[in-house]
A and B are shown apart, each in its own frame.
Chain A
Amino acid sequence: MSPAPSAEKPLAGLEEIKKNYPASSAALMPALYEARRQFGWLSPEALSAVADALNLPKAAVRSTASFYGMFNQGKTGRHLVRICTNVACMVLGAGSVLEKLEARYGLTPGGTSRDGRFSLAVTECIGACDKGPAMLVDDDMHTDLTGERITEVLERYE
């Protein structure tokens, strides 16, 4: 994943997205998703590119992006792991999952593994409370985690 849009790898596909919405401000959320998908995080350059493409003020784009936890504006490792720590998941054992991540990969919330493979974030409820503990790796949902299962799942991500 490239760190930020550049002349060689510009942010693409926003024209298509814009077509689906009556006003460019309505296209902001999908455009931010798209930018995050392409670059893994929303760098200032990516936010600027979104603002330019949609002809919206840059400050407004950053304001919207910063409201949503999933629009991460910090650089991450190759994969972003989000562990839910809301009530249901916590009760079902999210704590031990976190412990395992620290023991196995040296990951603490907000941190990145030394090899740059994973970054860890804790997140609010991701809507899988019945199958907790739950996590997202990039955009994939994984549920019913245990200390063992989590390494098994993560090993699938290079």
Chain B
Amino acid sequence: MMTLTINGRKVELEAPVTILEAAKRNGIDIPTLCHHPALELWGGCRMCLVEVEKMPRLQTACTVRVADGMAVRTETPRVVAARKAILEFLLINHPLECPTCDKAGICALQDLTVRYGAVAGRFEEGKRVFPEVVDDPVIVRNMKRCIMCTRCVRMCDGVQGASAIGVIEKGARSHIEPFSGGRYNCEYCGNCLAVCPVGAIMSKLHRYTYRPWQMEKTVKTICSFCGVGCTLRLEVRDESIKRVSAEFGDGVNNGLLCGRGRFGYEYVDSPERLKTPMIRRDGRLERATWDEALDYAAGRLLEIKKENGGGAIGGIAGGRATNEEIYLFQKLLRAGFGSNNIDSIARLGLLPAQKILEDIFGQGAVANLISGIPRSEAVLVVASDPTRTNPVMGLEVRAAARAGRKVIAIGHIDGLRRHRTRRLEAKTGPGQETMIMAGLLSELLKIKPLSGENPEFEEAIKAWGKTLPGPDEVEKATGVSALLISGTAADLKDVSTSSIIAGRELASSMDIRTNMMMLAALGYILNSRIFLISEHPNEQGLIEMGCSPEMLPGERPVDVRTFREKCEQAWGAGINPEAGLTLMEMIEQAGASIKALYVMGEDPAFGLPSRGRVKEALGRLDFLIVQDIFMTGTAAMADVVFPALAWSEKDGTYTNLEKRIQRLKKAVIKEGIEDWRILAEIGKRAGLPSRYRGVADIFREIAQVSPIHAGLGFESIEEGGVLWPYKGKPLSVSSSPSSAAGRFPGSGKAVSISPPPDRNVLKLVLDKPLLHSGTLSTHSDALMDLTGGPEARLCPETGGKLGIADGDAVKVSTGEGQISLRARLESGLPEDALFISNDFREAGAFELFGYQLEPESKTPVLTVQNLKVERL
């Protein structure tokens, strides 16, 4: 306990915080320029000077900590004179172009000049001149406005970990620049411009169109680009989003964003948005009224049900729909049309992976807080790159590395390459993570004492561990040195808390079960929080809301009568007791047992492997309904198209990868009707009474039907969301220790791991670009400008061997199909790999990948045959 006297008032403090912090807690405002709560202390601008009794000089409140008995005064004539002088100095060089500066109105320098009245300069100096740099797609740099607070550099370096910018030159010539001096070529998170107190670094998207005082409203909502679920602020004017930002203290992201979240919103205003429902007449999609389209859709589905039974109808949902929409979607199919053929893109990895883990540890196995990552003693990142797929979660991994935690990257993790990590990367190329994990696990089982918490489970994993390949064997197969593996294990020996981050790559694998069991075993041994990377904002919701053939809302198995009965009562209709078809099975059965598909917010003709075959299959359907915001490839094949709303246009909830339920809030809506209404209207026509007045009513029904959501009220989901466990009851699959152990095969049963690939054969790898996620982002001009278009990334050595130079046009073909795109040579990539993403319609990787179903989980595992690359 210490006492501080501040402006004559005595206050008590628990800990020696800075004077600035102490003042803030007591409602006293000390002006700052270089200080930012998210950044390392710096003390460079001197704006925060205060008088401290018995100290001859003025002190910087942002860096000096309170000592017991200190007496501080924050606004004496001496202090005011000093601040005024600092402003006067800053303004010597400042262009004073507030009328044309986008920052005017929220500029710290402007505000402080007004506050301290430093209006008359006494210096005759030429102003610094730096040309405005506008050739970057999203960031404008105006260095004559820079006040050298270095907030941007400390952000890029110390928080984002991209270290893309620095102070260049010295004295009056100093300014901020990326290495190139022109374009940033960085991660484009825009976190630098978010902390710039003046108008020196700004977003190009709202250049000259954004005046803060003209904004009509600011809406706090959730980002719809990935499963992190960052809190965003949308500023709206004239029915259009003008700016997206986040403030320190906001949400899971604590004010940070990635480029998709910050710059990706333009698609909402795209002229290509669908506006009216459409019906196929004489082979052509034509505009129709809502009633026509709804009647037609419901009528045809009922006919097909009558002729072929409900099992002839299937539904596929995407991961951008809200919980309420997903819930209604599966209810419509189950209760309205008697079909359990409901699945989603979560089948591509998240759902099966999570199910195996939950089977072992119980529901909630993956409900962990992202904010805990940098606090764990060790962090294991396996196969997937969180800095690309879930960027803001990736920042926590980088924070852990910066804090000196033991960060271990298993596989090729681009985004951690320059950060302090121990890298276990196979020389045989990508896809060897199973093997490497096995080596690490078997070694850990040998040297690390187990907690004894669950003896039966420990017995089981120990017995299982004996069958795993040891470090020597792993070295032979993958080229990762046995010494490195055993060294890593030794390093982890005393770790008592850790985090493990893994993604789709481990799930979309014939080894999925082995992979997940290894994760579980590692998780147990290292006392880990496990995080599964989630590519879509509401992928978790798809699982929890029952959007899968085998599970009802609350992840209750559909083949258990009591669970079914609960839903039947609420829905007033019977439910088929048998699990339905999974995602790829529905596609395969198209035209055979599946006659009609309802696709909501997903583009299977684009987003599923083996595009050619998927398109053919869709063509065989008798009836196809698509609900989307754009005329996607699938929509173009549909018989009925419903225009959907974009994320900024709707209310509802999303569940992020931490199992945190968060509110999505409507910012602006130009035209169209809410997606849930479309579902409810079709439901009505299929005999499902609908009494919903809004999404709150739907949520109420969810809470009634889903045991895990029981007792949750829509309105009670405040800022920060609702964390797992929700108020309801989790499913008790394996709460007993022995049942967890039972999930491991008996001792002596060898672990099956797919053999390592041939090192000399080029492999196709599904790339996950940082600035795109699916086709949605390709409708955002800013994001398109950043990447330009589809790319095949490979390392210069491989490029050399194939006679391909950077920027060359290449043709890539496989047994499935062929695409043409630009080659991008990048050093540091694995030698035998060709990275192509599936984010561009013209040239997506799923044109090239085939798939094979993993027999148990029915996850499509990507396959490649006859890969050829040629220069065009």
- Residue A2 at the chain B interface, CB threshold 8 Å: no
For the complex, give the distance between the alpha carbons of A55 and B168 in Å: 19
- Hey, which bits of chain A sit against chain B, CB under 8 A? 44, 47-48, 52, 55, 57-60, 62-63, 66-67
Binary flags per residue of B159-180, CB closer than 8 Å to A gives 1, else 0:
0000111111110000001111
Evaluate contact between A57 and B170: CB separation under 8 angstroms.
no
For the complex, give the distance between the alpha carbons of A58 and B184 in Å: 12
Given A63-B167, A63-B168: A58 in contact with B179 (beta carbons within 8 A):
yes
Evaluate contact between B164 and A57: CB separation under 8 angstroms.
yes
Most A-side CB within 10 Å, residue of B167, B169, B179? B179
For the complex, give the distance between the alpha carbons of A66 and B165 in Å: 13
Evaluate contact between A59 and B170: CB separation under 8 angstroms.
no
Evaluate contact between B169 and A57: CB separation under 8 angstroms.
no
Evaluate contact between B179 and A67: CB separation under 8 angstroms.
no
Residues in B neighbouring A52, C-beta threshold 8 A: 827
Most A-side CB within 10 Å, residue of B164, B166, B180? B166
Evaluate contact between A59 and B164: CB separation under 8 angstroms.
yes
Residues in B neighbouring A44, C-beta threshold 8 A: 179-180
- Residue B157 at the chain A interface, CB threshold 8 Å: yes
Determine the interface band of chain B, counting residues with CB < 8 A from chain A: 10 to 19
Given A57-B157, A57-B163, A57-B418: A62 in contact with B179 (beta carbons within 8 A):
yes
**Those 10 A-B pairs whose CB atoms lie nearest each other, nearest first:** A63-B166, A57-B163, A58-B179, A59-B166, A66-B168, A59-B179, A66-B169, A67-B170, A59-B165, A60-B166
The 29 sampled A-B contact pairs (Cβ below 8 Å) are: A44-B179, A44-B180, A47-B179, A48-B179, A52-B827, A55-B418, A57-B157, A57-B163, A57-B164, A57-B166, A57-B418, A58-B179, A59-B163, A59-B164, A59-B166, A59-B178, A59-B179, A60-B157, A60-B166, A62-B168, A62-B177, A62-B179, A63-B166, A63-B167, A66-B168, A66-B169, A66-B170, A67-B169, A67-B170
For the complex, give the distance between the alpha carbons of A62 and B153 in Å: 13
For the complex, give the distance between the alpha carbons of A58 and B166 in Å: 9
For the complex, give the distance between the alpha carbons of A63 and B170 in Å: 9
Residues in A neighbouring B163, C-beta threshold 8 A: 57, 59-60
For the complex, give the distance between the alpha carbons of A47 and B170 in Å: 18
Most B-side CB within 10 Å, residue of A44, A59, A62? A59
Q: In chain B between 405 and 426, which residues have their CB closer than 8 angstroms to a CB of chain A?
A: 418
For the complex, give the distance between the alpha carbons of A59 and B167 in Å: 9
For the complex, give the distance between the alpha carbons of A57 and B163 in Å: 6
For the complex, give the distance between the alpha carbons of A57 and B153 in Å: 12
B170's nearest neighbour on chain A, judged by CB, is A67
Residues in A neighbouring B165, C-beta threshold 8 A: 59
B168's nearest neighbour on chain A, judged by CB, is A66
A63's nearest neighbour on chain B, judged by CB, is B166
For the complex, give the distance between the alpha carbons of A55 and B828 in Å: 12
Residues in B neighbouring A60, C-beta threshold 8 A: 157, 163, 166
Residues in A neighbouring B827, C-beta threshold 8 A: 52
Residues in A neighbouring B164, C-beta threshold 8 A: 57, 59
Residues in A neighbouring B157, C-beta threshold 8 A: 57, 60
B171's nearest neighbour on chain A, judged by CB, is A67
Residues in A neighbouring B170, C-beta threshold 8 A: 66-67
B185's nearest neighbour on chain A, judged by CB, is A58
B184's nearest neighbour on chain A, judged by CB, is A59
For the complex, give the distance between the alpha carbons of A35 and B735 in Å: 63
Residues in A neighbouring B166, C-beta threshold 8 A: 57, 59-60, 62-63
A52's nearest neighbour on chain B, judged by CB, is B827
A57's nearest neighbour on chain B, judged by CB, is B163
For the complex, give the distance between the alpha carbons of A47 and B179 in Å: 9
Residues in B neighbouring A57, C-beta threshold 8 A: 157, 163-164, 166, 418
B162's nearest neighbour on chain A, judged by CB, is A57
For residue A22, give the distance in angstroms from its CB to the closest CB of chain B.
15
Residues in A neighbouring B177, C-beta threshold 8 A: 59, 62
For the complex, give the distance between the alpha carbons of A55 and B163 in Å: 12
* New contact pairs (9) apart from A57-B166, A60-B157, A66-B168, CB-CB < 8 Å: A44-B179, A55-B418, A58-B179, A59-B163, A59-B177, A59-B178, A62-B166, A67-B167, A67-B170
B178's nearest neighbour on chain A, judged by CB, is A59
For residue B175, give the distance in angstroms from its CB to the closest CB of chain A.
10
For the complex, give the distance between the alpha carbons of A62 and B418 in Å: 17
For the complex, give the distance between the alpha carbons of A42 and B684 in Å: 73
Residues in B neighbouring A58, C-beta threshold 8 A: 179
For residue A121, give the distance in angstroms from its CB to the closest CB of chain B.
15
For the complex, give the distance between the alpha carbons of A60 and B180 in Å: 12
A48's nearest neighbour on chain B, judged by CB, is B179
B167's nearest neighbour on chain A, judged by CB, is A63
For the complex, give the distance between the alpha carbons of A60 and B179 in Å: 8
For the complex, give the distance between the alpha carbons of A48 and B185 in Å: 14
For the complex, give the distance between the alpha carbons of A67 and B174 in Å: 9
B179's nearest neighbour on chain A, judged by CB, is A58
For residue A67, give the distance in angstroms from its CB to the closest CB of chain B.
5
A65's nearest neighbour on chain B, judged by CB, is B168
For residue A117, give the distance in angstroms from its CB to the closest CB of chain B.
28
Residues in A neighbouring B167, C-beta threshold 8 A: 63, 67
For the complex, give the distance between the alpha carbons of A66 and B177 in Å: 11
B173's nearest neighbour on chain A, judged by CB, is A66
B180's nearest neighbour on chain A, judged by CB, is A44
For residue A58, give the distance in angstroms from its CB to the closest CB of chain B.
4
For the complex, give the distance between the alpha carbons of A52 and B168 in Å: 19
Binary flags per residue of B548-583, CB closer than 8 Å to A gives 1, else 0:
000000000000000000000000000000000000
Residues in B neighbouring A47, C-beta threshold 8 A: 179
For residue A46, give the distance in angstroms from its CB to the closest CB of chain B.
12
For residue A3, give the distance in angstroms from its CB to the closest CB of chain B.
18
For the complex, give the distance between the alpha carbons of A55 and B164 in Å: 14
Residues in A neighbouring B179, C-beta threshold 8 A: 44, 47-48, 58-59, 62
Most A-side CB within 10 Å, residue of B165, B168, B169? B168
For the complex, give the distance between the alpha carbons of A60 and B170 in Å: 14
Residues in A neighbouring B169, C-beta threshold 8 A: 66-67
For residue A74, give the distance in angstroms from its CB to the closest CB of chain B.
13
B169's nearest neighbour on chain A, judged by CB, is A66
For the complex, give the distance between the alpha carbons of A55 and B418 in Å: 7
For the complex, give the distance between the alpha carbons of A57 and B168 in Å: 14
For the complex, give the distance between the alpha carbons of A57 and B179 in Å: 9
Residues in A neighbouring B418, C-beta threshold 8 A: 55, 57
For the complex, give the distance between the alpha carbons of A52 and B826 in Å: 13
For residue B201, give the distance in angstroms from its CB to the closest CB of chain A.
14
For residue B154, give the distance in angstroms from its CB to the closest CB of chain A.
12
For residue A88, give the distance in angstroms from its CB to the closest CB of chain B.
21
For the complex, give the distance between the alpha carbons of A58 and B162 in Å: 10
For residue B796, give the distance in angstroms from its CB to the closest CB of chain A.
10
For the complex, give the distance between the alpha carbons of A62 and B677 in Å: 57
For residue A98, give the distance in angstroms from its CB to the closest CB of chain B.
22
For residue B632, give the distance in angstroms from its CB to the closest CB of chain A.
39
For the complex, give the distance between the alpha carbons of A48 and B178 in Å: 13
For the complex, give the distance between the alpha carbons of A42 and B166 in Å: 17
Residues in B neighbouring A48, C-beta threshold 8 A: 179
Most B-side CB within 10 Å, residue of A55, A57, A67? A57
For the complex, give the distance between the alpha carbons of A112 and B799 in Å: 39
For residue B136, give the distance in angstroms from its CB to the closest CB of chain A.
14
For the complex, give the distance between the alpha carbons of A58 and B827 in Å: 15
Residues in B neighbouring A67, C-beta threshold 8 A: 167, 169-170
For residue B459, give the distance in angstroms from its CB to the closest CB of chain A.
44
For the complex, give the distance between the alpha carbons of A107 and B728 in Å: 83
For residue A49, give the distance in angstroms from its CB to the closest CB of chain B.
12
For the complex, give the distance between the alpha carbons of A124 and B644 in Å: 67
Binary flags per residue of B176-210, CB closer than 8 Å to A gives 1, else 0:
01111000000000000000000000000000000
For residue B662, give the distance in angstroms from its CB to the closest CB of chain A.
34
Residues in B neighbouring A59, C-beta threshold 8 A: 163-166, 177-179
For residue B128, give the distance in angstroms from its CB to the closest CB of chain A.
16
For residue B191, give the distance in angstroms from its CB to the closest CB of chain A.
15
Most B-side CB within 10 Å, residue of A44, A63, A67? A63
For residue A28, give the distance in angstroms from its CB to the closest CB of chain B.
12
A62's nearest neighbour on chain B, judged by CB, is B179
Residues in A neighbouring B180, C-beta threshold 8 A: 44
For residue B95, give the distance in angstroms from its CB to the closest CB of chain A.
23
